């Protein structure tokens, strides 16, 4: 399975080269075969006899972090959606994106996102899952901001990343707590220890952390505000990320961990409440939108809320309905996003106020939109898959488990009414989308382009998705036992009673609820212009976007204030702050951890008169540097300190260190003398008393700290000395008799390599500065 996850990333490396051929061959044609191949590989697992698969590839086994992939019914459903709709989106983008676009960037980002999503739904290791999770946020940020020359694209990309990464970090905290409690990084193993997790005092905290990750990623209330702004992305991105994949990642997370939390009553309360509020609020807000993708964005939020609520219900019927609607939503919403892109592409606008009467100009697009919107609305026709899952949703709301908690009991009673209320507005915005675009008076004078039907290549992908809507509607049980049933069992972690899907069940409560939705929905749609003024009161001027903007602005202003307080351009201030922090934190940590408690002056080298004399000369030379105003004298006196250290190394029988110090000191003095002409003239410093005291404090502090740390390190016996190991193995492992050379080249080869790399980078930086200066002088 690892090839399926990594092959899009590997192929992305070749996109920059393939994109050079875009004048002859559209880059998307090369990319098309990647998701198609993945889809073909995994579709063979569909069937009633499917059993889960598990593969592990070692990565960091010492930390239990490995590429551990698990394929069960739930992950199989998502893999097929990611790869199947990914194939259609790539094919659609071939006709949607012109060759003059930066196709290389687009397809690299898209393949990066595809790998990330596949990694999320297949990973059994929580830390690998988190890595892929954050990669979805980064790649979606790049995709949403693809048209980065547009201010709204940059704004939407930033908002999506800030909100989803905030949730991702919260989720990471929950995963760490789960790992600490269970002693494993495997999701499967965690589910096997449900009793241990549920009995833990950290359970509420774990639930909150993980749900924050899920709610932010799946745009649940009040974190839903990022999704409408993400519509600034190209339509293929919207059709892929925001209908079938990224926004479903949070749904997947709740589904995967629900087996652990479903026995906890607050899971039902929080997830069901947030989900049903999201459904109601987003469906209500969708009706006021004027941008086609804005309508679809809020409709996506409302549909995700419905799925989230069903997962929160926790019953087998609700879980089955949730899984079924995940599939159905991907088909009708993906097709509708593509139709919206076609309308924008062929008319030059997405503003529904400028559209109307397009049925005669775009009959194919209108037909596709008809099936998509009516399926999304849950209209009771046997060839619309959306009706079946909406009916199952209503049935799940009327058969919730009994709860002893007062809040849960109230929710149990209120949820059916809220479900109907939200579904009524779902019907209204669905009709608003279709009839507002394709019927009514023509407004050709308001359109930037004369409308016409899209080329057949752009229509193929939404046609396939609409065929999925119809086929699942006509033959729902084709995907039931072979896919949906297995996905529901993956969530429940045990066998789920088979649910035979039928169109007609009689005049039972769910069907009556559907009739109410259609009846009231028709009335509200026909009278829409009379009641939409309610939006001036609710929400009126209130907006979660304003809260977000204000919060981000305050954080920016606060950060800028702090930064400006110390970023004054004074190198002296920077060094003072750095050294002061080092002194304060180092002493604090050493004292609080007992670092100075074991200081011992035993087993030290005897100090001779010569040692004392050399040290006194070095101290005197160091003090003299403060008062010398002659450049040449200062260079010589500074050299005395360095050469004095070399002499001490010789006296302490460390000739290799003495030689190194001599070379460094000699080279340093030579460089100073070579650059003598360019050195600034020394002058008497007129410093304030406060500055002098600060300098004295820093000098004494650093000197004392280094001395104390050195003595403490010498006195430490926490670990066995490693010197014996080097003596014993230098020749056998490193093949050398010079232990120091073996340590630097073999034992610590990577350290030496990185040190050389740092020196190389520094040399390049110096060379660049010299070139810049020469260029400025030449000007």
pLDDT of residue 184: 94
Average pLDDT over residues 252-256: 95
By CB atoms closer than 10 A (0-12, 13-18, 19+), residue 79 is buried
Query: Which three-class secondary structure state does DSSP give residue 53?
Result: strand
- The 10s digit of each residue's pLDDT in 385-398 is 999 999 999 999 99
pLDDT digits (tens, 9 = 90+) for 193-228: 999 999 999 999 999 999 999 999 999 999 999 999
Q: How far apart are CA 387 and CA 372, in angstroms?
A: 11
Calpha distance 324→255 (Å, rounded): 13
Separation CA 34–CA 328 (nearest Å): 24
List pLDDT tens digits, range 18-35: 988 888 889 999 999 999
Q: What is the percent of the chain where pLDDT is above 90?
A: 60
pLDDT band at 141 (very low <50, low <70, confident <90, very high): very high
Instruction: Report the pLDDT averaged over residues 67-78.
Output: 94
Distance between CA atoms of residues 360 and 363, nearest Å: 6
Residue 187's contacts (CB-CB under 8 Å, 6 or more residues apart) are 70, 123, 124, 125, 126, 129, 256, 257
Q: How many CA atoms lie within 13 A of 627 on its CB side?
A: 5
Q: With the C-alpha atoms ordered 742, 744, 745, 747, is the resulting torsion angle positive or negative? A: positive
Helix (H) or strand (E) holding 94: helix 73-96
Cα separation of 231 and 155, whole Å? 11
Write out pLDDT tens, residues 296-330.
Answer: 999 999 999 999 999 999 899 999 999 999 999 99
CA distance 407 to 416: 15
Query: Is pLDDT at 404 greater than 80 in this prediction?
Result: no
Give the per-residue pLDDT at 628. Answer: 83
Residue length of the chain: 779
Structure tokens at 558: 């606060």
Residue 779 has pLDDT above 70, yes or no: no
Q: What is the pLDDT of residue 592?
A: 84
Angle at 434 between CA 429 and CA 436, to 5 degrees: 85
pLDDT in tens, 351-387: 999 999 999 999 999 999 999 999 999 999 988 999 9
Residue 127 has pLDDT above 90, yes or no: yes
Residues 264 and 203 sit within 8 Å (Cβ to Cβ): yes
What is residue 777's predicted lDDT score, i.e. its pLDDT? 64
* pLDDT tens digit sequence for 528-551: 989 988 998 888 888 888 999 999
| Cβ-based neighbours of 632, under 8 Å, separated by 6 or more | 676
pLDDT of residue 463: 96
Q: What is the pLDDT of residues 571-617, one digit of tens each?
A: 888 889 999 999 999 988 888 887 777 777 776 677 888 889 999 99
pLDDT in tens, 42-51: 999 998 888 8
pLDDT digits (tens, 9 = 90+) for 669-701: 888 888 877 777 777 767 788 888 888 889 899
**Poorest-confidence range of 170-174, 302-306, 313-317, 502-506?**
502-506
pLDDT over 70 (residue 738): yes
Instruction: Give the tens place of pLDDT for each residue, 439-494.
Output: 989 988 889 888 999 999 999 999 999 999 999 999 988 888 889 999 999 998 87
Write the DSSP string, 540-562: TT--HHHHHHHHHHHHHHHHHHH
> What pLDDT is stored for residue 73 in this prediction?
92
pLDDT recorded at residue 778 = 65
pTM over cut 0.85: no
Among 372, 351, 370, 375, CA closest to 359: 370
Q: What is the predicted pLDDT for the residue at 306?
A: 96
pLDDT on residue 603: 67
């Amino acid at each position: 399975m690892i090839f399926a996850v990594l092959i899009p990333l590997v192929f992305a490396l070749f996109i920059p080269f393939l994109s050079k051929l875009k004048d002859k061959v559209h880059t998307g044609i090369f990319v098309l075969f990647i998701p198609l191949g993945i889809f073909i590989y995994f579709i063979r697992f569909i069937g009633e006899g499917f059993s889960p698969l598990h593969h592990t590839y070692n990565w960091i086994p010492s930390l239990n972090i490995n590429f551990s992939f698990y394929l069960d019914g739930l992950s199989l459903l998502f893999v097929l959606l990611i790869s199947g709709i990914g194939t259609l989106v790539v094919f659609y983008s071939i006709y949607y994106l012109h060759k003059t676009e930066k196709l290389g960037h687009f397809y690299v980002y898209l393949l990066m996102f595809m790998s990330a999503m596949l990694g999320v739904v297949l990973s059994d290791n929580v830390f690998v899952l988190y890595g892929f999770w954050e990669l979805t946020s980064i790649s979606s940020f790049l995709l949403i901001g693809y048209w980065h020359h547009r201010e709204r694209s940059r704004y939407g990309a930033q908002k999506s990343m800030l909100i989803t990464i905030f949730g991702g970090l919260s989720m990471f905290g929950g995963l760490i707590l789960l790992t600490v409690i269970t002693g494993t990084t495997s999701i499967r193993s965690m589910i096997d220890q449900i009793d241990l997790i549920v009995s833990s005092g950290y359970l509420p905290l774990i639930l909150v952390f993980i749900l924050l990750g899920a709610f932010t990623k799946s745009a649940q209330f009040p974190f839903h505000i990022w999704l409408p702004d993400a519509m600034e992305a190209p339509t293929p991105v919207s059709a892929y990320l925001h209908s079938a994949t990224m926004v479903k990642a949070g749904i997947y997370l709740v589904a995967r961990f629900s087996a652990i939390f479903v026995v906890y009553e607050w899971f039902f309360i929080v997830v069901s409440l947030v989900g049903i509020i999201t459904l109601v609020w987003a469906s209500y807000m969708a009706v006021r939108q004027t941008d086609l993708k804005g309508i679809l964005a809020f409709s996506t939020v409302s549909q995700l809320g419905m799925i989230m609520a069903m997962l929160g219900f926790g019953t087998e019927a609700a879980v089955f309905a949730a899984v079924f609607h995940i599939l159905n939503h991907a088909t009708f919403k993906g097709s509708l996003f593509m139709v919206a892109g076609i309308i924008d592409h062929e008319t030059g606008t997405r503003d529904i106020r400028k559209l109307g009467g397009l049925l005669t100009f775009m009959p194919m697009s209108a037909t596709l939109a008809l099936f998509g919107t009516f399926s999304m609305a849950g209209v009771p026709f046997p060839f619309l898959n959306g009706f079946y899952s909406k009916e199952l949703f209503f049935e799940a709301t009327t058969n919730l488990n009994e709860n002893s908690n007062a809040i849960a009991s109230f929710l149990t009673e209120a949820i059916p009414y809220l479900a109907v209320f939200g579904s009524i507005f779902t019907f209204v915005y669905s009709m608003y989308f279709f009839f507002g675009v394709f019927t009514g008076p023509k407004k050709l004078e308001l359109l930037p382009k004369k409308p016409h039907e899209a080329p057949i290549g752009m229509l193929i992908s939404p046609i396939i998705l609409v065929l999925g809507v119809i086929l699942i509607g006509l033959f729902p049980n084709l995907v039931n036992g072979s896919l949906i049933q297995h996905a529901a069992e993956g969530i429940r972690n045990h066998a789920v009673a088979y649910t035979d899907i039928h169109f007609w069940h009689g005049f039972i409560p769910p069907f009556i609820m559907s009739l109410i939705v259609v009846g009231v929905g028709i009335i509200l749609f026909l009278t829409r212009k009379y009641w939409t003024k309610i939006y001036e009161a609710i929400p009126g001027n209130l907006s979660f976007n304003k809260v977000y903007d204000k919060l981000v602005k305050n954080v920016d202003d606060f950060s800028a204030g702090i930064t400006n307080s110390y970023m004054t351009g004074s190198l002296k201030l920077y060094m003072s702050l750095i050294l002061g922090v080092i002194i304060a934190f180092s002493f604090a940590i050493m004292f609080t951890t007992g670092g100075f408690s074991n200081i011992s002056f035993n087993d030290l080298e005897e100090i001779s008169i010569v040692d004392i004399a050399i040290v006194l000369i070095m101290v005197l030379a160091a003090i003299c540097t403060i008062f010398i105003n002659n450049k040449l004298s200062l260079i010589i006196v500074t050299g005395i300190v360095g050469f004095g250290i070399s002499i001490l190394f010789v006296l302490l029988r460390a000739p290799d260190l003495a030689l190194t110090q001599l070379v460094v000191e000699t080279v340093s003095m030579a460089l100073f003398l070579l650059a003598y002409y360019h050195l600034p003239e020394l002058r008497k410093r007129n410093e304030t008393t406060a500055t002098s005291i600060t300098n004295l404090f820093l000098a004494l502090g650093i000197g004392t700290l280094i001395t104390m740390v050195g003595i403490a390190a010498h006195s430490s016996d926490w670990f066995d000395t490693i010197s014996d190991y080097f003596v014993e193995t230098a020749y056998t492992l490193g093949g050398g008799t010079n232990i120091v050379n073996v340590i630097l080249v073999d034992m610590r080869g990577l350290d030496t390599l990185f040190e050389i790399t740092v020196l190389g980078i520094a040399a390049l930086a110096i060379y660049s500065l010299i070139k810049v200066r020469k260029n400025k002088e030449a000007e």
